Amino acid sequence: MKILISAYTGLGNFILKTPMINRLADLYPGCKIDLACGSPWGADKVLEHSNIINHVYWLPLNSRILDKIKHLKSLANNGYDLIVLPFDSTPTFLLWGANFYFSDSRIIAHFNIYNLGGLNRIKRTLSFVLFSNVEWVPVLHGRHEIDLNLDLIDVLSYKNYTANRDRKTIVTYDPTASVSGLPEKYIVLQPSARNGVPSPKTWPISQYHSLAQQWLKKHPEYRIILVGDSGDLNALLDHPILKLDGVVNMIGETDFSQLCMILKTASAVVANDSGIMHVSDALETPLVALFGPTDYTRTGPLSASSKVLCSQNDCYCNCYAFKESEDSLLDKFDEDYCMKDITPSNVISTLESILG
């Protein structure tokens, strides 16, 4: 059994696909699962040190049309039995290519019928007509993204797994990876997200700064480690949080395995709705996840060691059911507005409760 999964997505969204991938491995023992990737946000790293993924095929989204056609033909030569196309990780060229180049494969794809304008409704109708080889599975609102991904493979078996699903996410890393200079006792903060690009889902940096100051004063036995992508550092250049005594800046200084080691051995993590949040949740490190406009019912952490704090103002859960995007919210509100109603004291009391 040969399976191809489209994984043109970010780190966190791919982690939410790992229960589905694990289920496929259970359904088809000995199967070979390949990934089609092209987004540079770490999805290909999540299962790199597992025996689940056979191969990762890479083609950037901005590649020329001719290169995309060659790539599709090359993939078609692998003779896949099953193609899985999730709603949030399937570029248009792969959806069209799967239908027209993989005629001997079983193709399962998501479709979304909600909040579509007139033009998008026409496109959706044309898809149903033209993509005759595709089995469509609806994106249902009010469901966690893990379940949306599992919905895709429920059609592969007469047994429905909805009532008894394994929703545990998986992250693998090199256990021999080492990080020098780690304090004996520390918490991790993620003071930026989205690779440093402005986002309404990021807790204001001033609040992180205040949190760090208050935490170090109240709990001097701890140190604080800052983590994030290299782009995140651009949002923090010359910010006072980088110069606080007791703060260790490791933003952009780690590979994926080193990041996992830092998160795994931390006393606790405070993170925005992001890939780092999902890594911490998968590793079952005590986590305080900060939410506001994004849909926590769809992407929230599920581990028993994770707690969610929400900023409940005009932005609260505006992204529910895909009604708003991060960029559209930035057009309506100031960058720091959506998350400002979470206070450092809220976070500190939650940290103290999960740390006992």
Write the DSSP string, 17-46: THHHHHHHHHHSTT-EEEEEE--SSSGGGT
Q: Which residue has the higher pLDDT, 40 or 352?
A: 352
| pLDDT of res. 121 | 67
- Does the pLDDT value for residue 309 go beyond 90? yes
- Angle, helices 65-76/92-101, rounded to nearest 10 degrees: 40
| pLDDT of res. 43 | 94
**Which pair of tokens denotes residue 47?**
């299962």
Q: How sure is the predictor about 276, in pLDDT bands with cuts at 50, 70 and 90?
A: very high
Kindly state the average pLDDT of the residues 81-97.
93
Q: How sure is the predictor about 178, in pLDDT bands with cuts at 50, 70 and 90?
A: confident
**Which pair of tokens denotes residue 182?**
């780690």
Q: How sure is the predictor about 115, in pLDDT bands with cuts at 50, 70 and 90?
A: low
| pLDDT of res. 275 | 94
Task: Mention every residue, 6+ apart, whose C-beta is less than 8 A from residue 344.
Answer: 207, 210, 211, 214
- Does the pLDDT value for residue 217 go beyond 60? yes
- Does the pLDDT value for residue 82 go beyond 90? yes
Mean pLDDT of the chain: 91
| pLDDT of res. 273 | 95
Contact of 215 with 297, CB cutoff 8 Å: no
Kindly state the average pLDDT of the residues 306-318.
94
